[in-house]
Structure 1
Amino acid sequence: MLPVYVEWETILGINDTSAEYKGVLTKLCVEVDTDADVITYSDGMTYHCFHKQGIAFAFMKNSDNALFLDSIDFYYPRKSASSIKEKTYAPVSPQFLPSWLKPDTTGKDLLEMFGEPEEKGGGITEQKINIWLRWNNFQVDLDDKNWETGQDSVWNSMTMFTEIPEK
């Protein structure tokens, strides 16, 4: 299968009815009407979940009540996937991943590429919370609950989002 080139960072903020979004869906060989599980919450957040493709798009309402793309979730569940959400998604095809993320990217690889994360958490085995690492515009969940072994653990979900403003 040929690589699919989507500059994921450039589509954040687009409208759900835009030609750019339709173009991305065409590259993924999906349509919202037939392939997505569309979930809208009371706060107006709307998700287009493409379970078979391992990708979900989250849209927020702006001041004009139009939906804009706030974040993109990529799933690569492993045998030990801890959350029900991860188990309902097929692994995303490597051709759909951002160029810097591979199926076997580890916590150590991420630290070498991006430096120390802005925030980190999880690693609580009693509560079964996987380790997560957050940089300014993306978060990665690792397939591990133990900080001692986390550096060698591979990712199981990654969310790209619009850049967090400086505090």
Structure 2
Amino acid sequence: MQHTSFERIGRRLFVEGLVGGNFGNMSVRTEKGYLITRSGSYLDEPGDLIFVQDGEEVPKDASSEYRVHQAIYRDTPHRAIVHAHPSCAVAASLLLDWIIPQDSEGMMLAPEIPVIAGKPGTEELAENVASALKKTNIVLAKGHGTFAAGKTLDEAYLYTSLTEHATRVLFYAGRLTPSFS
């Protein structure tokens, strides 16, 4: 059953253009660890998932962002994570320190989306993402993409899609302007 939700959400992410090629990853918390997509896998056809057991060494073919997933599961109550590379949201992260949605869904579900720093695959990114996700379900890593978390992959996908929609609305409305902080 887990594998089916990975495929279904992976297809949605790909069809919506929230991931391209073999970019992005997903995971779900289990009783003794978490299941994560393989490094280099295509999310619309994720193939075999990797089990990462709590307190054990991470298998070498787990996603390169496994540190972020570990930190989120260690520091927050979230049970599922989607990391995607939605193009408009990534562009917005290069201009803004916070995304403040102006569309009704964004204002209701994610009224403020933090943009955080950290190079892909690093402990710094892991700590910054996990810290931000203690207070929200979605964060943007500057120039890198979204990390969405929730109770299920469906919920994490929803926040991913919502962020891309909100940043497109800001772009179409001419409200994506650089912040000078």
Instruction: Give the TM-score, by structure 2 length.
Output: 0.32
User: When you count helix as a share of all residues, which structure comes out higher?
Assistant: 2
User: When you count strand as a share of all residues, which structure comes out higher?
Assistant: 1
Instruction: Give the TM-score, by structure 1 length.
Output: 0.34
Higher relative contact order by CA 8 Å / sep ≥ 6: 1 or 2?
2
Q: Greater Rg, structure 1 or structure 2? A: 1
